[in-house]
């Protein structure tokens, strides 16, 4: 049976475009669709009858796509549906977008085909950082001492226990809303004495506090099916990326392939599988004394910069996963 693949992602997603291009070279056409185009620029019909009488169709760019003929759906990085511009009343827009989101979210989950990295609800559950840490600990990963709290006294006790060598990071969303079209980003940050003065503000919202883990290198471990692609990020060679490599100083930060110990690679595969995922981007720290310390898993983590810098064939592996449900050709560490 020929493969039919739907990629749900935002416009301009270079990662999805790369995978779609590789699939096309393999003779497979993948349709990229962003639910933000629904209902303004796309139509979806779902008809149900007795027994197995079901017909679900997506019409986009004038072309119908039989959703029941799909062999795989990749829930990459889609945006939520957006109300038609003709609807100008803010309250009505909120209502319409809620209706559209409820319908499309249910629709994608109904489809009887391979879901990458997983069904939408599973992805949402897998993103919970405190649950990730609890699971990682049970699987035998080394973890940084961590506190999630709204209690200023607990925070100050944690600060004292670790002699002030702690960092904070967002619990869920690294990009809080900003005014006047500005964009804010929240990364892992060291806690300063100035922050301690304002510790009472912690009572207003939960924060993740962790001991600062001394780094030899940081690792991005991309798990595709059961294939493991590990890359060293030499973040300590640039002051810009010392506390969080996601500040991206690519010109000054070396990236190299890394061979994980067998037990660490196994745990990386296991945590992705236990979270119900087929794909996961895992952040680890390799300490100067050789410990591999777990930080978090991202079910939709980026990889193109790793692939470009190291040659690790992650996009090819993702194509295998979409087509066959597993990675062929011995790619990765496993």
Structural tokens at position 219: 């690792």
For the entire predicted model, the pTM comes to 0.89
Domain-by-domain residue ranges, the chain?
Answer: 5-116, 145-211, 214-324
**Angle subtended at Cα 24 by Cα 76 and Cα 257, rounded to the nearest 5 degrees:** 60
Confidence of residue 240 (pLDDT cuts 50, 70, 90): very low
Closest by CA position to 30, among listed 60, 47, 7, 63: 7
Q: What is the DSSP letter of 252?
A: G
Closest by CA position to 242, among listed 227, 253, 226: 253
What is the distance between the alpha carbons of residues 268 and 228, in angstroms, rounded to a whole number? 8
Helix (H) or strand (E) holding 301: none
Structural tokens at position 209: 């506090």
Confidence of residue 175 (pLDDT cuts 50, 70, 90): low
Fold identical between 145-211 and 214-324? no
Range with the lowest mean pLDDT among 90-104, 109-123, 168-182? 168-182
Fold of 145-211: Dna Ligase; domain 1 (3.30.1490)
- CATH code at 214-324: 3.30.470.20
Q: What is the pLDDT of residue 334?
A: 47
pLDDT digits (tens, 9 = 90+) for 301-319: 999 999 999 999 999 999 9
């Amino acid at each position: 049976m020929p493969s039919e693949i739907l990629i749900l992602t935002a416009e301009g997603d270079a990662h999805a475009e790369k995978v779609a291009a590789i699939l096309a070279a393999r003779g497979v056409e993948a349709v990229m669709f962003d639910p933000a185009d629904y209902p303004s620029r796309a139509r979806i019909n779902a008809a149900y009858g007795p027994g197995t009488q079901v017909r679900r169709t997506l019409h986009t760019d004038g072309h119908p796509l039989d959703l029941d003929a799909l062999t795989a759906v990749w829930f990459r990085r889609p945006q939520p549906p957006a109300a038609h511009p003709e609807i100008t009343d803010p309250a009505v827009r909120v209502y319409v977008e809620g209706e559209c989101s409820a319908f499309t979210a249910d629709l994608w989950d109904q489809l009887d085909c391979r879901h990458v990295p997983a069904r939408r609800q599973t992805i949402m559950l897998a993103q919970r950082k405190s649950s990730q840490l609890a699971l990682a600990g049970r699987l035998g990963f080394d973890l940084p001492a961590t506190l999630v709290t709204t209690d200023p006294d607990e925070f100050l006790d944690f600060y004292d226990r670790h002699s002030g060598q702690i960092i904070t990071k967002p619990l869920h969303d690294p990009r809080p809303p900003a005014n006047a079209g500005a964009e804010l980003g929240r990364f892992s940050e060291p806690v300063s004495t100035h922050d301690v003065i304002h510790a009472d503000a912690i009572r207003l919202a939960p924060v993740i506090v962790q001991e600062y883990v001394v780094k030899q290198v940081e690792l991005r471990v991309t798990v595709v099916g059961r294939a493991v692609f590990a890359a060293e990020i030499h973040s300590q060679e640039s002051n810009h990326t010392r506390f969080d490599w996601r500040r991206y100083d690519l010109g000054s930060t070396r990236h190299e392939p890394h061979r994980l110990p067998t037990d660490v690679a196994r745990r990386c595969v296991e945590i992705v599988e236990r979270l119900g995922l087929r794909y996961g981007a895992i952040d680890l720290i390799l300490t100067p004394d050789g410990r591999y310390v777990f930080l978090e898993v991202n079910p939709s983590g980026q990889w193109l910069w790793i692939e470009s810098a190291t040659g690790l064939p992650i996009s090819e592996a993702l194509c295998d996963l979409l087509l066959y449900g597993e990675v062929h050709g011995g790619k990765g560490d496993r």
